Amino acid sequence: DVKVTQSSRYLVKRTGEKVFLECVQDMDHENMFWYRQDPGLGLRLIYFSYDVKMKEKGDIPEGYSVSREKKERFSLILESASTNQTSMYLCASSPTGTGYGNYGYTFGSGTRLTVV
């Protein structure tokens, strides 16, 4: 069964800590995405990557960075965690190009991050 795996379901970190959220996919997808999900705001795109070592800012990149050294792994980094980064973080992947129909995005289970 194809899968997107996020390394942690729940994380509690202190303000100012550097936080790494890891995501691994086993589908050989070119594209990978990081979203945050907050009640009433839906999914907001933080960063995405369409190839190894390539990254593009999404709608809310401030306070975050990403790393994609290998095709299967996309990491989200909070350089100095703040309480307003408490959220659910979702990773997704997809094959490249339009017209991929029943593939769409495959999501991980999410990481609920609490910054105290």
Partner 1 sequence: GEDVEQSLFLSVREGDSSVINCTYTDSSSTYLYWYKQEPGAGLQLLTYIFSNMDMKQDQRLTVLLNKKDKHLSLRIADTQTGDSAIYFCAESLTDSWGKLQFGAGTQVVVTP
Residues of this chain that interact with partner 1 (CB under 8 A) are 4, 31, 40-43, 48, 50, 59, 90, 92, 94-102, 104-110, 112
Residue 13: alpha-carbon gap to chain centroid: 17
Amino acid at 31: N
Task: Provide, rounded to whole angstroms, the least separation between the CB of residue 57 and partner 1.
Answer: 12
CA distance 101 to 13: 38
In angstroms, give the least distance from the CB of 3 to partner 1: 11
**6 versus 18: smaller Cβ distance to partner 1:** 6
Residue 31 tokens, joined: 């594209």
Nearest CA to 81 out of 8, 11, 30 is that of: 11
Length of the chain: 116
* Closer to partner 1 by Cβ: residue 84 or 102: 102
Among residues 2 and 116, whose Cβ is nearest to partner 1?
2
CB of 105 to partner 1, least distance (A): 6
In the complex, minimum distance from the CB of residue 12 to partner 1, in angstroms, rounded to a whole number: 16
Q: Side chain identity at 76, as an amino acid letter?
A: L
Tell me whether residue 12 or residue 41 sits nearer to partner 1 (CB atom): 41
CA atoms within a 13 Å half-sphere pointing along the CA-CB vector of 90: 15
